[in-house]
Amino acid sequence: MESRVEQSEDLDTRALSLLQAMTLDEKLSLLAGGSLFKTKGIPRLSLKPMKLSDGPRGIGFHSALRRATAFPTGIALGASWDPDLAREFGEALAREARSVGAQVVLGPAVNICRTPLNGRTFEYFTEDPELNSRLAVAVIEGIQSTGVSACVKHYAANNQETHRMKSSSQVSERALREIYLPVFEAAVREAGVWSVMAAYNAVNGVAACENKTLLSDILRREYGFTGFVVSDWFAVRRTGSGANCLEAGLNLEMPGKGSRYRQSRLKREYEAGAFTEQALDESLRQLLRVWLRTSPDAGNPPGERNTPKHQQLARRMAEQGITLLKNESDLLPLDRQRVRRLAVLGQRAGKRNCLPLYGGSAGVWSPYEITPIEGIRQLLGNDCEIVTDPRGADAAVVIVGLGHRVGGDFEGRDRTDMDLPAEQQALIRTTAAQNPNTIVVLVSGSPLAMPWAQDVPAIVMAWYPGMEGGTAIAGVLFGDVNPGGKLPVTFPAALSDSPAHSDTRRFPGNEDAVHYEEDVFVGYRHFDREQIEPLFPFGHGLSYTHFDYRDLEIAGDDWRGDGTLCLSFHLSNTGVRDGSEVVQLYVACCVPSLPRPVRELKGFKKVFLRAGESCTVTFELAARALAYFCPEDLRWKVDNGEYELAVAASSRDVRLQSRVTYAV
């Protein structure tokens, strides 16, 4: 197989050859799209337009005019904590893209879940940079293994929909480096991502699409990015000029009929000396490398869409993401031999979520969708009577949630609160009063308030589980599937407990600025620091079996320089069912030189064990895991001293811990 270096040199040679054959007008024409999801081409040079496609959880009907496999949304994948599954998803997504002629997939979407009210939380993975990075790298590697380009988005600090076109995210260098940029660094350094999307918002007063610090200084010079940067759709309208964007490092403006990169406008700026042809050529070389690499003529694997294999993957992703939040008296799983009369209620029981533009650009129109009620009926067949009256039923399942309409999980508008609609809350309480075996299934993509949580014995978070979601939900309810999901975000007991909601400067801010004054204390970092009890903590998720952690061992007594620390422990499935456990490794500096989180996730593994089975789980921890970004020196530093290592089942459920000493 051709080496990466040989391939890179060949791409550069071909790109330069094309540039030498182009006129100035032809070069300028390539900087802006030709239509909503295509670039322009140059027919006389046999350069065909490059097609881009939404989105992060499947091929958007709006960008391909084709139905496609609707996989679970990003936060459901986040809840799986499974990079292997994420890589498999990335490959399937790319094959679906290739089947509609797309060369670039606009995803993964990796912005940090800073507020529960963000309308796009359902698209994103998590509130934590380590989990975010591991999943993003896996998805990108899967996509690009097929010769399709991933486009990691939205760069950077794009964490709400309110004022997203106008506002500036005012965030410290330390918070940028520790919370918001690690996923982009990993995407470049580890996954070698070929494309990055610049966000709508400004960062510290400079629009992302003309932010030279972000696009050139950090992304290219520091991280080593060699691909192209594309604007979010219409995002360049807030910038000063095409020359500014070009100098900053924006390679492509989308969609068609460019604003700042309109050919006539760019030519006037060029003739006025605002930029050189050399700068133009360098920008186009970066774009053309990916354009040629992903071309249908480049010998990449063929595409396929709506295959049984992809549908089975969609089901497995849903199963692995579904998170069991509460299960008093082991009500779940239901015993189909005993449940002869099952009440199924709620607005979301028969609702479809996989439809065009449902939720915005992440919407996918699937060829079919199994709703929760359909999944339950298919599983039970004629063995159980499905009713709508909870009185006298053996159990009652209430299926509620938000949906992708305005006011729910929806691009372009944030929610106003964390509440379910009043009628859904009333239904839960009424059902619980009439049937003690009430199970609430939540179909939603973001944290929800649950003032009714004490009224019900079981709560299942299904997220938006995709086109096979009903099958997965039914399988979890009746024990065919042991839920393996863990929360990728903290569920606060009250919105005011969340770090972005102490005042309106932090959220929603205004058209000028949103102030990230919580700094690095995002998500569980804030809850731990302020000693606030969440409704459900980051990393929480129950199982139908039980896991025992014991015998933590650390290789060596100290830790020095750039060395790697090895630790291991014994994990056993002590229950009667097969199942998976997400083992989480947290690190804390015992005597920090500046305020640091109580503990930070620095590693995790999803381990499957059969009933009664045991294994040794091993982590290798690099010294970088101890580092913080020093705002005075503007570099990463590691303090000498003691560090606590905690092996946990969630951020609040530490099972094993020990201390080690680090010295340079």
The residues annotated with a catalytic role in the active site are: 232
Q: Which two tokens stand for residue 503?
A: 């005042």
What is the Cβ-side half-sphere exposure of residue 99, based on CA atoms within 13 angstroms? 21
Q: Which two tokens stand for residue 335?
A: 């015993």
Distance CA(440)–CA(448), nearest Å, equals 13
Return the HEC string of 526-549. HHHHCCCCCCECCCCCECCCCEEE
Q: Which two tokens stand for residue 26?
A: 């032809």
Q: Which two tokens stand for residue 645?
A: 């290592």
Q: Which two tokens stand for residue 309?
A: 């294999």
Nearest Cα neighbor of 119 from 494, 510, 446, 536 is 446
Spell out the residues 6+ positions from residue 296 whose beta carbon is closer than 8 angstroms to its own.
Answer: 48, 101, 103
Distance CA(288)–CA(280), nearest Å, equals 12
Decide: 400 and 432 in contact? Cβ < 8 Å. no
Nearest Cα neighbor of 275 from 210, 197, 220 is 210
Nearest Cα neighbor of 516 from 501, 530, 527, 528 is 501
Angle of CA points 367, 371, 373, to nearest 5°: 145
Spell out the residues 6+ positions from residue 499 whose beta carbon is closer than 8 angstroms to its own.
Answer: 114, 506, 518, 521, 522, 523, 526
Phi-psi map region of 640: left, alpha, beta (phi>0 left; psi -120 to 50 alpha): beta
Decide: 541 and 582 in contact? Cβ < 8 Å. yes
Angle of CA points 368, 369, 372, to nearest 5°: 155
Q: List, as one string, the DSSP characters of 95-147.
A: HHHHHTT-SEE---B------TT-TTGGGS--S-HHHHHHHHHHHHHHHHTTT
Cis amide leading into 202 (omega within 30): no
E strands within 556-599? 558-560, 564-573, 579-589
Pairing type for strands 52-53 and 202-203 reads: unpaired
Distance CA(535)–CA(122), nearest Å, equals 19
First to last CA, the chain: 41
In the numeric block, the tokens 């015993």 are attached to 335
Pairing type for strands 558-560 and 653-663 reads: parallel
φ, ψ at 110 (rounded to 5°): -130, 15
